[in-house]
Amino acid sequence: MALDTETPLNSLGFAKPPSETRVVVAMSGGVDSSVVAAYLADQGYDVVGVTLQLYDHGAALAKKGACCAGIDIHDARRVAEERGFPHYVLDYENIFKDAVIDEFADSYLAGATPVPCIRCNERVKFKDLLETAKDLEADCMATGHYIQRKMGPNGPELHCAEDANRDQSYFLFSTTPEQLEFLRFPLGHLPSKDATREMAAQYGLSVADKPDSQDICFVPNGNYASVIEKLRPGAAEPGEIVHADGRVLGQHDGVIHYTIGQRRGLGIGGLSEPLYVVKLDVDRKQVVVGPKELLATRTIPVREINWLGDEPFTSQNEWHVSVKVRSTRPPREAIIRPLTDTTAEVELLTPEEGVSPGQACVFYETGGSRIFGGGWIWRGY
């Protein structure tokens, strides 16, 4: 039978009417994913809302500012009822603990500064939830992330959001080409978060004025150390605060209370020069401090690389790109030198301060919006 070449593509890229296109929307209960669900339902798509219960929401009910708590499940369900599409809550507590929380604790105990939101996208939302969407016979899965998926000559490409202030590309670098085929990000082209809230108001959504989540969902008030101590009792072992030149300057209550680049709250006053945490030596239980210039890093070992370029990663000795080494920093020009398909050495053209193992190093097109993937910063030994 000849292919029907006359049917135009709908807004999600399928050659069939929206009513025959099933889309699973990952709903956190916040305004972003709620707007995505309402917008697609309004366009006539066959929308199915899915919310993940990621941890004990009995404990989370009283906690504001985090996704996937009990109140957020209620909000997602309410939006689905208001807009007239089915909504399911999936218990992913065990998956989330195994894939995200345990590694978060272990990374911190090893002196790293992990980014659990990336692992959650990689191992839970874009893996298990995406498979669930396929089981529901969905054509695609849509999320409320601020990032753009654009069709290029070699298939879908990942691009930064139109609004640089909302861009979430740093947290989505590990999205694979196969996942990108199935994913859609309807908010990525919007000029601002205000535009999202205006849409929420237009649709009459009960979450239109709901505040954005601020913290990692299972870390109340940003207090990482207290969470680690609950997960790994006895983890906060005391030790010495040592100057990079070898002098012992004081005592600490546990390496887990410190991060690379930290200046305040070191508990070592009366010194003539400002000191920063430059190294966390877990084996010796030492927090190593020194002057700011010791924080400057030019060469970064990166592993577990997800490459989104058009040619194989190892097809070139060098890739001239820009990289982000923290979510809050702008991309800086760099040279990536592949070692294997998934490891590389990244040379920053301008040294960065406070580069920390456990953070991501994300690759960007210099002067453009495309994301070429990224990997995880480690110590290199």
pLDDT at 62: 43
| 106 and 254 share one domain | no
| 70 and 185 share one domain | yes
Q: What's the pLDDT band for 69 if we cut at 50, 70, 90?
A: low
Mean pLDDT of 306-313: 98
Residue whose C-alpha is closest to residue 53's, from 81, 33, 72: 72
| Domain contains 221 | no
pLDDT at 235: 79
Helix (H) or strand (E) holding 11, with range, is none
pLDDT at 110 over 90: no
pLDDT at 57 over 50: no
Report the binding-site residues for ATP: 26-33, 52, 144
Amino acid identity of residue 111, one-letter, is G
| 302 and 371 share one domain | yes
| Domain contains 211 | no
Q: What's the pLDDT band for 222 if we cut at 50, 70, 90?
A: confident
Q: What is the CATH number of the domain that holds 259?
A: 2.30.30.280
Q: What's the pLDDT band for 129 if we cut at 50, 70, 90?
A: very high
| 250 and 149 share one domain | no
pLDDT at 77 over 90: yes
Report the binding-site residues: 26-33, 52, 144
| Candidate list 67, 68, 117, 120, residue with the active-site label | 120
pLDDT at 85 over 70: yes
Task: Find the domain containing 42 and state its range.
Answer: 18-59+66-203
Query: pTM for the whole thing?
Result: 0.90
**Number of domains the chain is built from:** 3
| Domain contains 210 | no
| 97 and 242 share one domain | no
| 112 and 191 share one domain | yes
Q: What's the pLDDT band for 59 if we cut at 50, 70, 90?
A: very low
| 282 and 137 share one domain | no
| Candidate list 67, 140, 217, 361, residue with the active-site label | 217
Taken in order 203, 206, 210, 215, is the CA torsion positive or negative? negative
CB 289 within 8 A of CB 276: yes
Q: What is the pLDDT of residues 327-354, one digit of tens each?
A: 988 999 999 999 999 999 999 999 999 8
| 114 and 182 share one domain | yes
Q: What is the CATH number of the domain that holds 325?
A: 2.40.30.10
CB 140 within 8 A of CB 119: no
pLDDT at 108: 86
CB 72 within 8 A of CB 92: no
Q: Is 120 a catalytic residue?
A: yes
Q: Is 361 a catalytic residue?
A: no
Whose tokens are 């939302």? That residue is 125
Alpha carbon of residue 40 to chain centroid: 24
| 163 and 30 share one domain | yes
The CA R_g of the chain, rounded to the nearest whole Å, is 22
Question: What 8-state DSSP symbol labels residue 61?
Answer: T
| 131 and 100 share one domain | yes
In DSSP notation, 65-119 reads S-TTSHHHHHHHHHHHHHHT--EEEEE-HHHHIIIIIHHHHHHHHTT----HHHH
d(CA 184, CA 296): 38
pLDDT at 189 over 90: yes
| Domain contains 216 | no
